Chains A and B, each alone.
Chain A
Amino acid sequence: MDKKSAKGYLYLLPSMIIMICFTIYPLIRAIVMSFLGDYSIINGSYKSIGFDNYKALFADPDFAMSLKNTTIYVVCVVPVSIMLSLIIAVLINSCKKTKALFQTIYFLPYVTSVIAIGIVWRWMFNSNYGLINFMLGLIGIEPIQWLNLPQYAMPALIIFAIWKSMAFNILIFLAGLQTIPEDLYRAARIDSTPKFRVFTKITVPQLAPMIVYSSVIGMIGAFKVYNEVFSLFQGKAGPANKAMTIVYYIYDKFYNSYKYGVAAAGSVVLFIIILIFTRVQLRVTGGNKK
């Protein structure tokens, strides 16, 4: 190693140390932990080495439900959020005068604490006084017990999460829209392009890299959903645990049931799922990278 690169590594050292201590080491520990039966976090003792934790994990109906809930959550939240964000970003962008104002308004959820937002949404979902039931009432729909009935736990969570995740997507899309040359739109105008075709044939293809980026980031984030559940259902996983997600399950196994090995096994499974999905997604959309 020459002197110059030694100096470079020296600059990298502080962040490397932090990353090794708080990211790499825990990652390896979690993987190791997932193979240790009846592991004690206090004295580090364990009774067996093997796949016992994984067996327990896959035998647990709660884990199956959390897997199902998380999948539903990802499949609903990510595409809907991206589609709505895209439409809203185009609308915001189309009016130059109010652009800065709406950009700020839509970005607020991103910089606000999820817990605080959760409190506001609990009020909005309130079955007697909530804004959502009031609105539904206007079009003749009976009040819904959003947060109290098990069957509405996932819909409520998904609505909340879509709203929350839009802030980031809108920001990305607005930035992307700035990079589309104005002349393309002028050319489209000269070519008598209908408005909807301008959107599908020019705006969307031009934003393709941003859409891929948003969907990858959004999907990874959605698989790790936890904050939203915690804040909306006041630290629980919804009525009858009906809004249990994978990360919530891991959290519950670790802190409430003290089953460290099972929690670690759950983390490894989640890690593998995200890895596979991200690879597949990048392969499928890879054509857009150009």
Chain B
Amino acid sequence: MDIRIENLTKTYGSLNAVDHMNLTVKDGELVGLLGPSGCGKSTTLFMLSGLTTPTQGKIYFGDKDVTSIAPEDREIGLVFQNYALYPHMTVEDNITFPLINRGIKKAPAREMALEIAKVVKIDQYMKRKPSELSGGQQQRVAIARALVKKPQVLLLDEPLSNLDAKLRVATREEIRRIQQEVKITTIFVTHDQEEAMSISDRIAVMKEGVLQQYEVPQTMYLNPANEFVANFLGTPEINNIEVDVNDGVISSGGMVLRTGAKLADGHYHAGIRPESFYIDDNGNSFKVDNLRMTGRDLLLFSKLGEKVVRILVHSYMQVAEGDSVKTSVREGHILVFDDQEKLIGRF
């Protein structure tokens, strides 16, 4: 089911937790709400669930205005950050609970529970209590409980934050698989940009209650709407530098980074991702002050004028501290921002 958010606003006192947000989610898509803590992403999710009432604005599920509809009548499944499984009930009782509440008899409810348990692969634990399951298994039970009533929309609040790093990667793939298998419109909240990029069809980045950009992950990464989005996405972080433009020549800290740029003369903020540098014998020479081996990559720390820059190279490169490397920046990978922090162009 399509979801449409119009002018959605939530005010707590004088603070706009969510500020005139507009967003459309297409049927069957997986959308990540991404942002630092306190950006209003969870508030948005809870407004979608109906547990929080918006101050202003409308929410549509399909063509239906659900803004004033109670959560239990919205046909949503909600997975809480701490899973909120009923601790005294078995896995089976947890999953059948919403069905029995809706007046479904025990036997068919059990069948439906088993069916969804197989999808999330917890069918062998039906008689266990939540406390006897690992975090990842509890997560699956919570998803099964949310999906068993065949909701139109699945909402997940920070679904991976309570899992350890290794399990997180596996579980996010699981969420994607389950979402694809059930073909359900899904919105999830996360503060982890990698998590959001890896499984979302689209990402909505928020900052201080305001939607910054809503895009397909790859497009957003390469074409961030503003400096905030550019900074928030990507590890290692983007290099924030100051550049001067003179006659189409972009330079910083005495190095010429680009010539022939169609850009008015002046001083600008710019961003270059660490991986946008490539080894080039005709490039600028960077002295390596420090380096970090991360496995696949080697992260070099150098200076561009006064600023520290991070340069990512392949780990097979033989470099040591004090060496110099000659690099250039890939065409179209210098992101230049105006004084409002908006992206002007890529050079």
Q: Cβ of A194 < 8 Å from any Cβ of B?
A: yes
CB within 8 Å of A: which B70-118 residues: 71-73, 76-78, 80, 82, 84-89, 97-98, 101-102
B82 touches A183 (CB 8 A): yes
CB within 8 Å of A: which B40-60 residues: 49, 51
B86 touches A192 (CB 8 A): no
Q: Which chain B positions have C-beta within 8 A of A192?
A: 72-73, 98, 101-102
State the Cβ distance, A203 to closest chain B Cβ, in Å. Answer: 11
A183 touches B97 (CB 8 A): no
State the Cβ distance, A157 to closest chain B Cβ, in Å. Answer: 36
CB within 8 Å of B: which A227-267 residues: none
Q: Cβ of A55 < 8 Å from any Cβ of B?
A: no
B51 touches A191 (CB 8 A): no
- Which of A183, A194, A201, A208 is within 8 Å of B80, CB to CB? A183
State the Cβ distance, A221 to closest chain B Cβ, in Å. Answer: 28
- Complex Cα distance, B78 from A197, in Å, reads 20
Q: Cβ of B10 < 8 Å from any Cβ of A?
A: no
B97 touches A191 (CB 8 A): yes
Q: Which chain A positions have C-beta within 8 A of B87?
A: 206
Q: Cβ of A6 < 8 Å from any Cβ of B?
A: no
Q: Cβ of B145 < 8 Å from any Cβ of A?
A: yes
A193 touches B97 (CB 8 A): yes
Q: Which chain B positions have C-beta within 8 A of A193?
A: 97-98, 101
Q: Cβ of A205 < 8 Å from any Cβ of B?
A: yes
B71 touches A189 (CB 8 A): yes
Q: Cβ of A1 < 8 Å from any Cβ of B?
A: no
Contact A187/B78 with A192-B98, A193-B97, A193-B101 known, Cβ cut-off 8 Å: yes
Contact A205/B101 with A183-B82, A187-B80, A190-B76 known, Cβ cut-off 8 Å: no
Q: Which chain A positions have C-beta within 8 A of B101?
A: 191-194, 197
B76 touches A201 (CB 8 A): no
- Complex Cα distance, B302 from A137, in Å, reads 93
B49 touches A190 (CB 8 A): yes
- Which of A186, A191, A206 is within 8 Å of B88, CB to CB? A206
- Complex Cα distance, B87 from A186, in Å, reads 14
The listed residue with most B CB atoms (<10 A of its CB), out of A187, A191, A197, is A191
State the Cβ distance, A86 to closest chain B Cβ, in Å. Answer: 16
State the Cβ distance, A194 to closest chain B Cβ, in Å. Answer: 7
Q: Which chain B positions have C-beta within 8 A of A208?
A: 88
B80 touches A191 (CB 8 A): no
- Complex Cα distance, B97 from A202, in Å, reads 11
A201 touches B72 (CB 8 A): no
Q: Which chain B positions have C-beta within 8 A of A181?
A: 82, 84
B51 touches A202 (CB 8 A): no
B86 touches A190 (CB 8 A): no
- Which of B72, B88, B102, B145 is within 8 Å of A189, CB to CB? B72
Q: Which chain B positions have C-beta within 8 A of A100?
A: none
Q: Which chain B positions have C-beta within 8 A of A87?
A: none
- Complex Cα distance, B87 from A201, in Å, reads 11
Residue of B nearest to A183 (CB): B84
Residue of A nearest to B99 (CB): A191
Q: Cβ of A184 < 8 Å from any Cβ of B?
A: yes
B84 touches A187 (CB 8 A): yes
Q: Which chain A positions have C-beta within 8 A of B86?
A: 184, 187, 201-202, 205
- Which of B51, B76, B98 is within 8 Å of A186, CB to CB? B51
Residue of A nearest to B151 (CB): A190
State the Cβ distance, A189 to closest chain B Cβ, in Å. Answer: 6
Q: Which chain A positions have C-beta within 8 A of B88?
A: 205-206, 208
| Contact indicator per residue, chain A 48-71, by CB within 8 Å of chain B (1) or not (0) | 000000000000000000000000
B72 touches A186 (CB 8 A): no
Q: Which chain A positions have C-beta within 8 A of B149?
A: 191
Residue of B nearest to A194 (CB): B101
Residue of A nearest to B97 (CB): A191
Q: Which chain A positions have C-beta within 8 A of B72?
A: 189-192
Q: Which chain B positions have C-beta within 8 A of A189?
A: 51, 71-72
CB within 8 Å of B: which A158-209 residues: 181, 183-184, 186-187, 189-194, 197, 201-202, 205-206, 208
Q: Which chain A positions have C-beta within 8 A of B77?
A: 190
- Which of A183, A184, A191 is within 8 Å of B98, CB to CB? A191
- Ranked nearest first, the 10 interchain pairs of A and B with the lowest CB-CB distance are A191-B98, A192-B72, A183-B84, A187-B84, A205-B88, A190-B78, A183-B80, A193-B101, A192-B101, A190-B71
Binding site for A on B (CB under 8 A): 49, 51, 71-73, 76-78, 80, 82, 84-89, 97-98, 101-102, 145-146, 149
Binding site for B on A (CB under 8 A): 181, 183-184, 186-187, 189-194, 197, 201-202, 205-206, 208
21 CB < 8 A contacts A-B: A181-B84, A186-B78, A186-B84, A187-B78, A187-B80, A189-B51, A189-B71, A190-B72, A190-B76, A190-B98, A191-B72, A191-B101, A192-B98, A192-B101, A193-B101, A197-B101, A201-B97, A205-B86, A205-B89, A206-B87, A206-B88
10 more A-B contacts (CB under 8 A) besides A186-B80, A189-B72, A191-B98?
A: A183-B82, A186-B84, A187-B78, A187-B145, A189-B71, A190-B49, A201-B86, A205-B89, A206-B87, A206-B88
